[in-house]
Amino acid sequence: MPLGIDTTQPFGFSPLNPWPDALILDPSEISTAKTATAAFNSTIAAVANSEGFGIVDINSFFNSIASGGLVENGISFSTAFFVGGLFGLDGVHPTSRGQAVIANQFLQVINNKFGASYSLVNVASIPGSIVLAKQSLLSKGIFPHFAPGSFKHLLD
């Protein structure tokens, strides 16, 4: 952790303790990460193809959802924070239904590449994530406020 940053207090719960710049990606760092991701993915695809492996390009898949959304088994997904249904509350890890969407990508590649016939996961049969606020508030950019320590009992 960079010097001078108080990590004993949660960041972002108060305007008096915002996220420090050292912990936020700036546009230059985002560009560097995207370039590295593209290079890694290109290498992975080349090696996989040369060895006859199937490949699931999750980066391209998530980018396509980001640009146009996804409807699977009648459920709409987007990459929108909090309300998109694909990622959990941390904005990084997939929800239970998001995991099913990802599993289907792997199953499709296995079926197409190797002539298998695995059934896809019915995403609608997977329990949804917890809804913490009404959609009407979220669409206005109003998010619930959780006081510091609100979730401490989950770690006890």
Cα→Cα distances 103→18, 52, 64, Å: 36, 21, 16
What average pLDDT does this structure show over 93-111?
96
Please state, in angstroms and rounded to a whole number, the distance separating the CA atoms of residues 103 and 105: 5
Asked whether residue 69 is assigned to any structural domain, the reply reads: yes
Asked whether residue 110 is assigned to any structural domain, the reply reads: yes
Statement: residue 133 has pLDDT above 50: no
Asked whether residue 42 is assigned to any structural domain, the reply reads: no
Asked whether residue 72 is assigned to any structural domain, the reply reads: yes
Of 133 and 59, the structure prediction assigns the larger pLDDT to 59
Asked whether residue 19 is assigned to any structural domain, the reply reads: no
pLDDT band at 16 (very low <50, low <70, confident <90, very high): confident
Please state, in angstroms and rounded to a whole number, the distance separating the CA atoms of residues 109 and 1: 41
Asked whether residue 152 is assigned to any structural domain, the reply reads: no
Statement: residue 30 has pLDDT above 70: yes
Report the pLDDT value the prediction gives residue 123, as an integer from 0 to 100: 94
Number of domains the chain contains: 1
What average pLDDT does this structure show over 18-31?
87
Asked whether residue 60 is assigned to any structural domain, the reply reads: yes
Domain interval for residue 92: 56-143
